[in-house]
Amino acid sequence: MVTPEIPRLRSRTLFAAILFFGLLAMTARIATDPDLWWHLRTGKWIVETGHVPHTDPFSFTRGGSLWTTHEWLSEVIFYSLWRLAGPTALIVFSSIVTTVGFLLLYFRCPGKPHWAAAATVLGAVASAPCWGTRPQMFTFVLASLFLWLLERSEDRPRLLLCIPPLFLLWLNLHAGFALGPALLFLYAAGIVLEAAAGTTPCTHARPIITRVSLAALVCLALVPLNPSGARLYRYPLDTVRASELRSLIVEWLSPDFHQAMYLPFLLVFLLLLSALAWSRFSIRGRVLLPLTFMFLAALDAVRHIPIFILLAMPVIARAMSESFYAVHPSASRPSVQRFRPLLGGATLVLLAAFSCLRWTDLAHSQNAREADRFPSAAVIFLRANNLPGRLFAYYDWGGYAIWNLYPRYYVFADGRADLYGEDLMKQAVETALRLHRGWQAVLDNWKVETILIPPGSALAQALLLDPQWTVSYRDPQALIFVRTAKPSPD
């Protein structure tokens, strides 16, 4: 006789397959992140030279200064994919990696498959502002895998043995690796609270706390196994505390709920509050502590929203499922027979086709979208003409200039805010581009020779009136200025 578990398993697998292809289409993004370009150039530099740079090779303001290349493995992967199949490979790869992270979330969501799928889709929409072809997606999928392993290890402790090798990979992909030990310690601390409150027997809690804490300590011991060595212990903390990131970079700002793209995150927050207040189950300390930590982190900086989603959606999925059947106790629960496998198979095929069409459309529109966002024609002009090499580029174009113009040109600054520091970032963004007091001194002191900026910027309007500068190139998207007189001595 077929047990009830078999139809349930088939139903969940079918939902997972449909969800997989639907998310592939949802998470696909054009490869135009401003930081992508210097990641590609760094990956190319590593592949061509055979070693990871420890000092900056790309700028004239920080050239030769210490640079912690914490994303070196991501950059090698990105460049290798680009070399293999151009931006199409990056679009497909980033979509698959992000989708795997959400699929692991789906399998962690309790309750019926349709509730788990609904919670996963809502989580995907809420975290959409953070998607893209960027190393941060590795932190998302590995954090999702860590949480899956943690929860399954309660019944299968040997799964914790997978965490140290995964962490070793993570710490060479992205500085978000610091979340790994943090989540482990918070999970263990939550079980300590459960034992103290009497909700989990000490005899049951003690071995779990020991195993998880030991896994976290092993992860911390592995941190120096990267090209930057023990410096990576401090790097995540220094980055979080860096004021230049919090004042100048959008993803390090708090979510602005006046913007429509953050309203799904607000909805998740409200649903979570409802789940905690009115659900019939009590949330365990091992869930509550990491969830609280990541909620505060998500309110502090947009970039932490996806990790918060990984912790919040299982709680919401369970609450939605139990609340529905508490209100409608006689409601029939879906089974695989009623789901109509034929309809499910057709949906699966359609979503797979749609994902492929989505990838194809993004790949075909890559060049046009790139030209809309970045000064591709101006870059071609710079490559074709022997202009002076100390280049001040609009901040969001700095990485694009590194990818296309290095080593003929060296940039003033780009997206590597951790390298440049607060003072130089303010000079690049506030003083020069926004024309704050002292903007001329910034250009003169650093002996800037060539400037690439949008025509509508305040700096462009000022330089058009400055006899020390002449327009060498002009189009609707960009102006190139070249210095016609040497800067006055200090």
Cα 201 to the center of its chain, rounded Å: 38
Estimate the crossing angle of helix 305-327 against helix 113-126, to 10 degrees.
150
**CA gap 223, 212 in Å, rounded:** 17
Give the list of residues 6+ apart from residue 196 with CB closer than 8 angstroms, or none: none
Are the CB atoms for 35 and 403 separated by under 8 Å?
Answer: no
Around Cβ 437, how many Cβ atoms within 10 Å? 8
If the chain, 490 residues long, is cut into consecutive pieces of 10 residues, what is the mean pLDDT of each piece? Answer: 49 81 91 94 97 96 94 97 95 95 94 87 94 93 97 93 97 95 96 92 93 97 95 86 68 89 94 82 87 94 94 91 59 51 73 88 92 95 94 95 97 92 86 86 94 94 94 96 76
Residues 355-399: pLDDT tens digits?
899 899 999 999 999 999 999 999 999 999 999 999 999 999 999
pLDDT of residue 413: 94
Burial 109-135 (b: 16+ CB within 10 A, else e): bebbbbbbbbbbbbbbbbbbbbbbbbb
Provide the residue type at 483 as one letter.
Answer: R
From the list 359, 356, 349, the residue with the least C-alpha distance to 18 is 349
Helix axes 72-108, 305-327, angle to 10 degrees: 10
pLDDT tens digits along 136-184 = 999 999 999 999 999 999 889 999 999 999 999 999 999 999 999 999 9
pLDDT at 250: 77
* Rounded Cα–Cα distance for residues 188 and 205 (Å): 9
What pLDDT, on a 0 to 100 scale, did the predictor assign at position 3? 45
Q: Which of 269, 290, 270, 280 is nearest to 318 (CA)?
A: 280
Q: What is the pLDDT of residue 336?
A: 45
Tokens at residue 101, please? 């992270």
- What is the model's pLDDT at position 269? 94
| Residue found under tokens 């025509």 | 455
Q: How far is CA 414 from the centre of its chain?
A: 18
